[in-house]
Amino acid sequence: MMKRVKRKMNFQPKKLVKINMRNIFLLFISIFIIPVTAQEVLKLEDVIKLAIESNFDVLIAKNNTEIAKNNNNIGLVGGGQSTGGTVSGGSTGMLPQISISAGSPNTPLGVGQTISTLKYSNPASNITNQKLTSTNYAPSIIGTWYFFDGLKMFATKKKLNRNEELSNLQYRLVIENTLLNALTAYYQMISIQQYIKSLRESLVLGDAQKKLAEQKLKAGTGSNVDVLQTQIDYNNIKVTIIQQQNLLNDQRVNLNNILKRQPDVDFGVPDTIITQTKPDYANALTNIEKGNNSVLISSKNIQISELGLKEYKGNRFPKIGVTGNYTFQRTTNDIGFSRLNQNYGYNAGFIFSWTLLNNLTTNTAIKNQMVQIRNDKLNFDASMLREKSNLYKAYLSFENNLSIVEIEQQSVVMAKQNLTIAAERFRLGLSNYIEYRTVEQSFEDASFRLTQAAFNTKISELNYLKAQGLLVH
């Protein structure tokens, strides 16, 4: 079992020392009150629930499992001897075939009428346009059951079992991919939202610096360059916020689409990303073969191909069965030698057939199926190597991103302290605005890197779990 620990990557920076009480109040309003009251927060468990229950691809995959389950019955076991590995109904199988017939195109069941004209040497004997009526009834019931077909029927039933299991694995794989897409959009929204909050904080501070530069200019201790530059930087922060809001809206629409909701459904997301897994490569590697759905699908395809080979080999053996029928036939005519012909009765007995030569069709099918098995085994090896590579990459990325998060958290704390000092120096006239803005830009960059590191860590964790088949429980 994997050891799990909860790690809260709180990459939201602590509050800066504000220049005055007014800025503190404005910062509190802009960062906390507005986001909370504007939108309903979509919880993680709601995302998972909606993705599994509502996504179109998941619903289609679920329907496919139902089709595979319906097909897995003894009524579909069997088929003609030349069909090999195909699944089709027929007289060969675990269940008998019973049919009722009555009439044919040449001898329909019912009433017939014939108009006759006969001419003889004696005109007095001629018959002109005489209507002759006849009836024909010939219903029959036929039952046939081949109880031995070279054990092919048992291989077919096992193959249907494996097909149903394969469908369930494919269903789980679709859920995994859907969840990964949904959670990627979800955590991307959290990352963007956190960056927007840090930008709003910078916007409040930028507004304060802009006003301070104007006051210094009026007092004769500042320059118009600082006033213009503070306004330009203030506008740039506003533009960046709008751009990030566009990215946030795009991810919201993408997530709504995955969850089968209308694109204009508005919602918010939490403000933290939490990791719940501790990277352990040795334990994770043992989960690949028994948990990874792509590997399990490749393994199941080998089993299905091997059962298909048994089906083809079954065509080399004879078919033995029993058959029986009951027939009733009654025919009447208005004139003629036979006015009434009536027969009824039953027949029962054994049937036997053995195809000794069918243009080497069976041998060719067997050889091709053996090649297909080799291909399936190669696909299994390729899938195993691919998923091990994915696991190892996710593991390395997961470990490295956890380290990056710790480093970026330290960087944000130091950048925040440096920004406090730079703001105070600018207020006291010990430095110019360019110096302050350089420090503030460093703080914004550190905040952005921290949000990206937290997002990348979570995505690495999701891929790390998916490679082990642990993303869906």
Specify the pLDDT at position 53: 94
The span from the CA of 27 to the CA of 14, in Å, is 12
Structural domain count, the chain: 2
pLDDT at 334 over 70: no
pLDDT at 85 over 50: no
Segment 276-292 shows an average pLDDT of: 91
**What confidence tier does 33 reach under pLDDT thresholds 50, 70, 90?**
very low
Tell me the residue type at 316: R
Q: Are 46 and 109 part of one and the same domain?
A: no
The span from the CA of 438 to the CA of 207, in Å, is 16
Three-state SS for 358?
A: coil
Domain presence at residue 331: yes
Domain presence at residue 142: yes
- The per-residue pLDDT for range 212-251, each reduced to its tens digit, is 888 888 888 778 888 888 899 999 999 999 999 999 999 9
pLDDT at 82 over 50: no
Half-sphere exposure of 435 (CA within 13 A, CB side): 13
User: For residues 391 and 288, is the Cβ–Cβ distance under 8 A?
Assistant: yes
The span from the CA of 349 to the CA of 320, in Å, is 11
Specify the pLDDT at position 88: 40
User: For residues 421 and 436, is the Cβ–Cβ distance under 8 A?
Assistant: no
Most confident residue range from 192-206, 262-276, 340-354, 368-382? 368-382
The span from the CA of 9 to the CA of 406, in Å, is 9
| Residue predicted with more confidence, 87 or 385 | 385
Q: Are 274 and 387 part of one and the same domain?
A: yes
Domain that holds residue 132: 97-148+319-353
Q: Are 329 and 384 part of one and the same domain?
A: no
Specify the pLDDT at position 437: 87
Q: Are 28 and 122 part of one and the same domain?
A: no
Final residue belonging to a domain, choices 334, 353, 372: 353
Q: Are 67 and 165 part of one and the same domain?
A: yes
Q: Are 399 and 304 part of one and the same domain?
A: yes
Domain presence at residue 87: no
The span from the CA of 344 to the CA of 354, in Å, is 31
Domain presence at residue 85: no
- The per-residue pLDDT for range 240-280, each reduced to its tens digit, is 999 999 999 999 999 999 999 999 999 999 988 988 889 99
CATH number at residue 248: 1.20.1600.10
Instruction: Count CB-CB contacts under 10 A for residue 290.
Output: 10
- The per-residue pLDDT for range 137-191, each reduced to its tens digit, is 778 898 888 888 888 888 999 999 999 999 999 999 999 999 999 999 999 999 9
| Residue predicted with more confidence, 33 or 210 | 210
- The per-residue pLDDT for range 41-74, each reduced to its tens digit, is 999 999 999 999 999 999 999 999 999 999 888 8
The phi-psi region of residue 110 (left if phi > 0; otherwise alpha if psi is between -120 and 50; otherwise beta) is: left
Instruction: Provide CB contacts within 8 A for 286, sequence distance 6+.
Output: none
Residue with tokens 């993408």: 254
Specify the pLDDT at position 451: 93
Q: Are 243 and 292 part of one and the same domain?
A: yes
Domain presence at residue 92: no
Specify the pLDDT at position 414: 95
**What confidence tier does 436 reach under pLDDT thresholds 50, 70, 90?**
confident
Specify the pLDDT at position 26: 43
**What confidence tier does 17 reach under pLDDT thresholds 50, 70, 90?**
very low
Final residue belonging to a domain, choices 309, 336, 353: 353
Beta bridge partners, 320, equal 148, 352
**What confidence tier does 423 reach under pLDDT thresholds 50, 70, 90?**
confident
Q: Percent of the chain scored above 90 by pLDDT? A: 50
pLDDT at 93 over 70: no
Final residue belonging to a domain, choices 304, 332, 353: 353
Q: Which of 8-17, 43-52, 114-123, 376-385 has the lowest mean pLDDT?
A: 8-17
**What confidence tier does 118 reach under pLDDT thresholds 50, 70, 90?**
low
Domain presence at residue 86: no
**What confidence tier does 342 reach under pLDDT thresholds 50, 70, 90?**
confident
State both tokens at 247: 């990215």
Specify the pLDDT at position 108: 63
Tell me the residue type at 274: I
Tell me the residue type at 91: S
User: For residues 225 and 432, is the Cβ–Cβ distance under 8 A?
Assistant: no
The span from the CA of 308 to the CA of 368, in Å, is 11
- The per-residue pLDDT for range 379-407, each reduced to its tens digit, is 999 999 999 999 999 999 999 999 999 99
Q: Are 215 and 261 part of one and the same domain?
A: yes
Closest CA to 152 of 321, 24, 404, 372: 321
Q: Are 424 and 389 part of one and the same domain?
A: yes
Q: Are 344 and 202 part of one and the same domain?
A: no
Domain presence at residue 410: yes
- The per-residue pLDDT for range 311-331, each reduced to its tens digit, is 999 989 998 989 898 888 777
Q: Are 386 and 457 part of one and the same domain?
A: yes
State both tokens at 138: 């010939």
Specify the pLDDT at position 327: 87
Task: Please state whether beta strands 319-333 and 273-275 pair in parallel, antiparallel, or not at all (unpaired).
Answer: unpaired
| Residue predicted with more confidence, 119 or 336 | 119
Specify the pLDDT at position 24: 38
Three-state SS for 195?
A: helix
Q: Are 381 and 334 part of one and the same domain?
A: no
Domain presence at residue 262: yes
Sign of CA dihedral 175, 179, 182, 185: negative
Beta bridge partners, 209, equal none
Residue count of the chain, please give it: 473
Residue with tokens 């998972």: 48
